[in-house]
Copies of this chain bind each other. A is one copy, B any other.
Amino acid sequence: MQDDLRPAGRYPDMALSAWGDPAAAEPLSPDVVKLLRDALGVGEDGLGRVAPDAIRLPDPRLADDVRAALADAVGAEHVRGDAESRLLHTRGKSTPDLLRMRAGQVEDAPDAIVLPGSQDEVLAVLAACADRRVAVVPFGGGTSVVGGLEPERAGFDGVIALDLRRMNRLLDLDEISRTATLEPGLRGPEAEALLGERGFTIGHHPQSFEYATIGGFAAARSSGQASAGYGRFDERVVRLTLATPRGAIELGRAPKSAAGPDLRQLALGSEGAFGVITSVTVEVSPVPAQRVYDGWCLPSFADGATALRRLVQDGPVPTVLRLSDETETALNLAAPSEIGQGSAGTCLAIVGYEGSTESVATRRDAAGAVLRDCGGQLDEAAGASWVEGRYRGPYLRDAMLDAGALVETLETATFWSNVPALYAAVGDALRESLGAQGSPPVVLCHISHVYRSGASLYFTVGAAARDDPLAQWHAAKRTASDAIAAAGGAITHHHGVGIDHREHYAREVGPLAIAALRAVKATLDPEGIMNPGVLIA
């Protein structure tokens, strides 16, 4: 393989106070706006955005010698302090992040953005920052929705964002073992393009796919829309390198071994709190000859869940497998005028197959039999329409915020027998909290990822924004998180911990496990400069 395979061009930066490519944003149609007003009581005033040039950034705090050390490490041209760069590296893309950005609140902007070009440069930056108590936020696609890019800066003499975009090479492709070694800064489409030209795919397509990076997928244990077929990203990782302030660790001599605990799993999900993932070797699959995505209408969420469970437990396992509840189905399928009407309709499942023509045909037939047995009816058009819109969700959220609706998502996971109880508990909690705040919400849910023993639940909530939408959401989120904990669900299935889930995460695993994590952090990052406050307090 050639030495230096990089993407042809640079994927566009994200919009500042919104998701994705500004050119791809679309306002809501007047019908939908009217519906938001009628059904949710959304007011006339949208949630506005302060113009970028009216945002007052705090003065950068980095001392001159720190800046010089960083320039030494990566080259002066790769240390940026301009306002646009700082704004673009401020926080992630949760609704609270966007609300604060819309309001021009950027007190936590990084003091500088540093762009290393190699693992050695990463190690040099970390050493410089450890020496001078400068906090480091590893920055990939900037798509965190859990406060993963918003470290606690108290006690530090500055914060830098370590943007990994220059580390964007395909380092190796082993066609026999079907593995590819990638640098962390490659975005989803960039990695897929480099691999696709050579006949392979990772098959990892989370909703953040267009912006999120290989390093972020690994650090946050991302799960993609085709996880039923390709597995979660962490399940695809067979080898990785973690650069810490104390040096680099390389893990993964074999796909699996019994050589002690699987330490790769300590780096996966570490969210930048232990170090920077500088290379990832993932399993790749041949680009499928065929991709088919069907829609199936199931009589109820319970029937649909049974169908999904039967498929994942007894096969055949489709590549994509997801199921919307009655409300989400109604909102997605119905003409806007019907939204919020009949809730006892059907539930839409998306059932996709990727592979050889033969494998697709065989699995599609057999899965169809299971789905029919559960009362399902094929709806081919719905599959195509899902593919069309699979990355559009966050754009829609921006348009809804513009219109004055508060919209956010949250997700959890549990074992199959507990899915109905968890589903009810979270929905009730959201309706109760937002209702009590005078903004009765619409709560949508889908099963987004399935396993033999359980599944994840992904909730989308919409309500009329009140005077302080941030406080309004925080109260609802806390009530929902408490309900998740009480119902035995995981505090997050694929969004990660960040700052937002830290408290519930600590409750979930208990103080002794947190103490063990803290001991690991103290070993790898004794000065505590790595994404401070993220994952563990």
Contacts and interface: CB of A to CB of B under 8 A. Distances in A.
Contact of A490 (B257, B509, B517): B257
Interface stretch (A26-34, A40-48, A452-460): A452-460
A426 to B, nearest CB: 14
9 contacts: A174-B415, A177-B415, A232-B256, A234-B262, A254-B412, A254-B454, A257-B493, A259-B508, A519-B519
A513 interface: yes
Interface in A241-287: 244, 246-251, 253-263, 265-271, 283
Interface of A: 174, 176-179, 220-223, 232, 234, 238, 244, 246-251, 253-263, 265-271, 283, 309, 313, 315, 359, 412-418, 449, 451-454, 456, 488-497, 501, 505, 508-510, 512-513, 515-520, 522-524, 535
B513 A251 contact: yes
B513 A176 contact: no
A262 B258 contact: no
Given A174-B415, A254-B413, A255-B452, 5 more contacts: A223-B258, A254-B454, A261-B266, A265-B266, A516-B519
A315 B359 CA distance: 10
A271 B509 CA distance: 21
The 4 A-B pairs of least Cβ separation, nearest first, read A254-B413, A265-B265, A257-B490, A255-B451
B497 A254 contact: no
Contacts of A451: 255-256
A229 to B, nearest CB: 12
A178 B223 CA distance: 22
Contacts of A238: 415, 453-454
A452 B283 contact: yes
Contacts of A254: 412-415, 454, 456, 489-490, 493
B535 A524 contact: no
Given A265-B265, A413-B253, A519-B519, A491 B259 contact: yes
B179 A415 contact: yes
A497 B260 contact: yes
Contacts of A176: 309, 415-417
A222 B522 CA distance: 31
Nearest to A524: B516
A254 B454 CA distance: 7
B523 A251 contact: no
A206 to B, nearest CB: 11
B359 A492 contact: no
A518 B490 CA distance: 28
Contacts of A524: 512, 516
A256 B522 contact: no
A222 B256 CA distance: 11
Given A232-B256, A258-B221, A177 B454 contact: yes
Given A258-B221, A508-B253, A453 B266 contact: no
Contacts of A523: 512, 515-516, 518-519
Contacts of A265: 261-262, 265-266
A261 B179 CA distance: 22
Contacts of A497: 258-260
A257 to B, nearest CB: 4
A150 to B, nearest CB: 17
A491 B258 CA distance: 9
Contacts of A259: 269, 490-492, 496-497, 501, 505, 508-509
A221 B414 CA distance: 24
A516 B496 CA distance: 22
A277 B319 CA distance: 35
A220 B456 CA distance: 29
A493 B415 contact: no
Nearest to A275: B512
Given A261-B265, A509-B259, A417 B250 contact: no
Given A315-B359, A453-B238, A497-B260, A516 B520 contact: yes
Nearest to A267: B261
B256 A535 contact: no
A261 B255 contact: no
Nearest to A496: B258
A260 B454 contact: no
Contact of A178 (B270, B283, B453): B453
A270 B359 CA distance: 40
B452 A222 contact: no
Given A415-B177, A497-B260, A523-B515, A253 B490 contact: yes
A328 to B, nearest CB: 21
A47 B251 CA distance: 41
Contacts of A489: 253-254
A260 B416 contact: no
Contacts of A234: 262
Nearest to A233: B258
